[in-house]
Amino acid sequence: MSGAAALIYQVLWLRILGLVFGVTTYAATTVLASFMGGLAVGSVLAGKIADRVRNPLRWFAGAEALVGVTALLSPVLLDALHRVYRVVYVSLPDVAGAVTLARFACSFAVLLIPTALMGSTLPLVLKSSLFRETTLGSRAALLYATNTAGALLGTLAAGLVLLATIGINGSFRLAAALNLIVAVTSAWGATLIDPAGRHASQPSGVPVVPAPATTRQRLVLFVFAISGFASLAFEVIWFRALVLFAAPTSYAFTLMIAAVLAGIAAGSYLVAPLMARRADWFATLAWLEVAIACAAVASFAGLSKTYLLSRWIDPGLPAAGATQLGSLIVATLIAVFPTCVLLGIAFPIGLDLWTSGDSGPARGSRHAGERIGVFYALNLAGAIVGAPAAGFLLLPWLGSPGALVAIAATVLLSGLVLVVELARTRRVLAVLVAIAALGVFGLSAVSMRHPIDAIVANRFPGDQPWIREEGVQTTVTIHRRAQPDGPPIRIMYLNGAHQAQDSSRVVWLHRMIGILPAALHPDAREALVIGLGGGATAGALSRMPGVTIEVVELSASVARASRYFAHVNYDVLHQGNVKLVADDGRNHLLLNDRQYDVITADAIQPHFAGAANLYSAEYFRLVRRALREGGVVCQWISGGPETQYKLMMRTFLSVFPDATLWANATLLVGTKHPLRLERARFERALRQPTLKSALADVGIDSFEKLLALYTAGPEEMRRFVRDGPVLTDDRPLIEYFLMFPDRDRRANLTDLAGDVSRLVAQ
């Protein structure tokens, strides 16, 4: 239950802090580092305490109760952090890293107490398990496996059900209730232990003097610092490749994290009954580390055939545009699960070797708490470094295969360090294992095929991969698809999800998203475009005379890729009236007081992970705040399932009650006051050659053509959507599409027909 609560909190904190700091990789990594940093601090402090108290289980109960209380208060503190961060941001110097440092300081300040309390629980509960005459290893394996299994359940619950049903605040209350149940149960259990008798952990007041660490123990500690580094780095690399098997949805990321936790739990459960036996566990750990390196570097080898296997398991899986999760589940079992099982086996073995060494549990138990705390803290410290090293450095520099080989090589070297130490007593075996490991590792690395190539070939038959860049924020690929009656079309995919193409139909829609709000505004001067994509939206808007444009795009890779669509985006990033801002769109609105005449956004698929941040009522309120009087905002609304379509429309109407619907019911237009159009003013403006050309590119060459784009007004839309839920930050319903009705049909738009003459000023 403690593990389940901890992972629920992690999911919730990452989502809330993403709203404060944005959903960039830098912001997410900063939050994760502060989370793990708190765990490490708590682990070290609790390790020292655990050896000095009579009843660690009672302290564990107190820590769990405080975790529940402080975590329950964290939404209030995080809400205050919104305002504090906004004040701090304005005063930050224009120095590289200043924003990242501020984000870390703010998130660490809020998360330090609850995460430190969480970090304290492992040393305390493991120390309390020593009151019987058994080895630490078997109990550590069992407890670690069970805690990880609980974390698996918490991940699945939060990622698949809780956020969509009871929301963020309800999930906080549920997780806090779990902590309090654990606290009460543990406090009761602590009363069953007689601290004055033979079950005492350590007599009160007796100083604990740890035995000097042996050479082997120091090597084990070093190996597990490397292991922490590699485990988080592997996750980053695996996730970047695995997300290509399905759309990058919240479900996909939940299942990938679940596969990691399931493997670790399974490994620890497997080794638990064996740890009580006498064996050369140091040699076992050496073989395991070598095997982890070889399994990790081989994890990409099977991915090229995984998509075909998943199609055999799930024949209904389409060749392109797949949103089903069957292929992802198969891929994670092949690529992630085996390595994580080995990691799960290794952790309790390493913990036992570092804590007890060759002295056995009787001698080692006197200083077990402190050593448990140090071991866990260094493992976490490695993890803090591993995620940014993989995401910020290795993936952009080496690509997925190169990054995987580099990280796996560090694990291999750490394993060979153990083998070298082992060679002092078992030289022949050590040499044979080293040769075999290097051979298997080398062959796997040399024969590795980039999984993107194989996935593209199976998922997008007929596409010819052309451009690929694995950047810090996302993997961008551009394909060319042959057409029977013209040149091949170019298609941009972000993390395997369609984002843009240069076909006439798609280009018209993206241009309309930029042009329509400017055409409806009587005198637009400043515009904001959230998301660059292929650049057609911002490019079309850049042609409107007298308009200066800010384009907010969080991925530098997308900005570089947009030049391959210069023929349809008017080479937008080289236009003198366009400024590119590298940031998260919502974060830009939160932290800036600038106002605009036009605000629009490149089309973002609503069911993708994090997309709810740009469809919620809170987001639309930020947009409204940034809109000048008389300003116009345009929001793409997909013609998807009826529940999703009505949810987006109802949410938009809750903030813009005078909204109108345009372009075959695909574009919502919001204004602070009822929209009014003046024929004479529009026709005078149309005499400008530049404006006339820009509007003609989307088929608007007269006032009648503009009016013909109108679909419905606010009254018709309110009758259509009726009363119902709206999308909020607390309940990001739109990302959890599996919660929608099984037979949810496409929205029937026949009732959405309004009288456009009401908009025309007489």
Distance CA 675, CA 640 (A): 27
Q: Is residue 199 part of a domain?
A: no
Q: Are residues 475 and 452 in the same domain?
A: no
Model pLDDT for residues 35-57, shown as the tens digit of each residue:
899 999 999 999 888 888 888 89
Q: Is residue 754 part of a domain?
A: no
Q: Are residues 539 and 682 in the same domain?
A: yes
> Which of 161, 194, 227 is the last residue in one of the domains?
194
Name the band, by pLDDT with cuts 50, 70 and 90, for residue 96: low
How many helices and strands in the chain, by DSSP H and E?
29, 12
Quote the mean pLDDT of the chain: 86
Model pLDDT for residues 117-133, shown as the tens digit of each residue:
999 998 888 888 765 54
Q: What count of other Cβ atoms lies within 10 Å of the Cβ of residue 386?
A: 25
Model pLDDT for residues 207-256, shown as the tens digit of each residue:
445 566 788 999 999 999 999 999 999 999 888 888 777 778 888 889 88
Name the band, by pLDDT with cuts 50, 70 and 90, for residue 308: low
Q: Are residues 562 and 444 in the same domain?
A: no
Model pLDDT for residues 546-562, shown as the tens digit of each residue:
999 999 998 999 999 99
Residues β-bridged to residue 634:
669
Q: Are residues 149 and 283 in the same domain?
A: no
pTM value is 0.89
More confident site: 682 or 28 = 682
> What CATH number does the domain containing 436 carry?
1.20.1250
For residue 430, the enclosing domain spans 213-365+374-461
Q: Is residue 645 part of a domain?
A: yes
Q: Are residues 431 and 468 in the same domain?
A: no
Q: Are residues 389 and 428 in the same domain?
A: yes
Lowest mean pLDDT among 325-334, 413-422, 451-460, 546-555: 451-460
Q: Are residues 76 and 182 in the same domain?
A: yes
Name the band, by pLDDT with cuts 50, 70 and 90, for residue 89: confident
Model pLDDT for residues 331-376, shown as the tens digit of each residue:
788 888 999 999 999 999 999 899 876 544 434 456 677 888 999 9
Q: Is residue 467 part of a domain?
A: yes
Name the band, by pLDDT with cuts 50, 70 and 90, for residue 93: confident
Q: Are residues 553 and 414 in the same domain?
A: no
Q: Are residues 52 and 179 in the same domain?
A: yes
Q: Per-residue pLDDT averaged across 21-36, rounded?
A: 79
Q: Is residue 759 part of a domain?
A: no
Long-range contacts of 419-422 (CB under 8 A, 24+ apart): 419/286, 419/290, 421/215, 421/216, 421/219, 421/282, 421/286, 422/282, 422/283, 422/286
Distance CA 33, CA 38 (A): 9
> What CATH number does the domain containing 680 carry?
3.40.50.150
Domain count, the chain: 4
Q: Is residue 430 part of a domain?
A: yes
Name the band, by pLDDT with cuts 50, 70 and 90, for residue 99: confident
Distance CA 168, CA 730 (A): 5
Name the band, by pLDDT with cuts 50, 70 and 90, for residue 203: very low
pLDDT over threshold 80, residue 16: yes
Q: What is the pLDDT of residue 762?
A: 66
Q: Are residues 581 and 478 in the same domain?
A: no
Model pLDDT for residues 486-531, shown as the tens digit of each residue:
889 999 988 878 889 999 999 999 999 999 999 999 889 999 999 9
Ramachandran region of residue 651, left (φ > 0), alpha (ψ -120 to 50) or beta? alpha
Q: What is the pLDDT of residue 572?
A: 96
Q: Is residue 479 part of a domain?
A: yes
Q: Is residue 206 part of a domain?
A: no
Q: Are residues 270 and 345 in the same domain?
A: yes
Residue 600 is classified by DSSP as: E
More confident site: 316 or 655 = 655
Q: Are residues 477 and 527 in the same domain?
A: no
